[in-house]
Amino acid sequence: MQRPNLSAWLYVTPLMLVLVPFFLLPTLVVLVASFFETDGFGGLLPTFTLANYVDVLTSAQTFLLYVATLKFAILTWLFTLIIGFLVAYFLVFHVKNQLLAIGLFLICTIPFWTSNIIRMISWIPLLGKEGLVNSTLLGIGVIREPLEVLLYSGLAVVIAYVHQLTIFMVVPIFNSLARIDKRVVEAALDAGASRLDVMRYIIIPMSKSGIALGSTFVISIVMGDFFVVKVMSGGGSASVVSAFYENVGVLQYPIAAASAVLLTLVLIAMIALILRVVDIRREITQ
């Protein structure tokens, strides 16, 4: 009975070597700091207080920040899912030549060879008041005044997120679709299923694991981001992280730590929910 135990520990060691120092310990530091007090000059007083949590949890601002951030997360999730699924579906089921499909798949990743920031910032000259979109629309006479909603707005934030994150949907969904046995689809068609039925009863259920994985990526990235919101909303919107980043800026570490712990808990709950709907482990090992 000793041997399997030992080998199990050996298997798990590399992961632990990464997780413990780079995830667990920092998280613990943040957790501990969230119960401390500050002297107002960046110093931490090692007391035990719940005041930071009381402050965060009783503030209407916290609620508004979560509403704002969740709004971006859900909209981004919805659009990346639709676009990502369609792209993956097209590549797997409509491109007959497998080599071509893989080639097209690789082409999808080309924009991602540049940095996130560059991809986000390149939207600005496109969407601005005197930007390409507005000047084109003005030129062909569709609008008379430039559309201000295109830039420095919630719309701009969502556009940037969708552009940045769709690939995180395409990859896992492509992967799970590619593993569907095409004969199952043919059999269903032979048995008289409509294309919609095939989609509803075969394709979507069998790509659940890919969708769940993609959703996990997209939602956790959006919930944890502040930079895109800051730049694309022109500072007109805030997010959970941007709010506590401002606290760090004036050295209010304990309250920022409490906000960070809360965000971690909310994210764990959201991911748990996704995993409850889809048992990724079972789906992948199938």
User: What residues line the site for other proteins (CB under 8 A)?
Assistant: 40-43, 59, 61, 64-65, 68, 124-125, 128-131, 148, 151-152, 230-231, 234-238, 242-243, 245-252, 255
Q: Which CB atom, from 101 or from 159, has the smaller least distance to other proteins?
A: 159
Q: Which CB atom, from 111 or from 131, has the smaller least distance to other proteins?
A: 131
Nearest approach in angstroms of CB 240 to other proteins is 10
Q: Supply the DSSP symbol for 150.
A: G
Nearest approach in angstroms of CB 137 to other proteins is 16
Nearest approach in angstroms of CB 192 to other proteins is 54
Amino acid at residue number 6: L
Rounded distance between C-alpha atoms, residue 248 and residue 232, angstroms: 22
Q: Which CB atom, from 56 or from 278, has the smaller least distance to other proteins?
A: 56
| Inter-residue contact 117 to 130 (CB < 8 Å) | no
Rounded distance between C-alpha atoms, residue 214 and residue 274, angstroms: 11
Nearest approach in angstroms of CB 51 to other proteins is 12
What residues are paired with 146 via a beta bridge?
none
Rounded distance between C-alpha atoms, residue 69 and residue 239, angstroms: 5
DSSP H helical ranges for 90-147: 98-108, 116-121, 124-127, 132-139
| Inter-residue contact 210 to 173 (CB < 8 Å) | yes
| Inter-residue contact 241 to 65 (CB < 8 Å) | no
| Inter-residue contact 266 to 223 (CB < 8 Å) | yes
* Contacts for 34 with CB less than 8 Å, ≥ 6 apart: 52, 53, 254, 257, 258, 260, 261
Q: Which CB atom, from 39 or from 190, has the smaller least distance to other proteins?
A: 39
Q: Which CB atom, from 49 or from 188, has the smaller least distance to other proteins?
A: 49
Nearest approach in angstroms of CB 31 to other proteins is 17
Q: Which CB atom, from 49 or from 90, has the smaller least distance to other proteins?
A: 49
Residue 185's φ and ψ, nearest 5 degrees, are -65, -45
Q: Which CB atom, from 64 or from 100, has the smaller least distance to other proteins?
A: 64
Nearest approach in angstroms of CB 147 to other proteins is 12
Nearest approach in angstroms of CB 164 to other proteins is 19
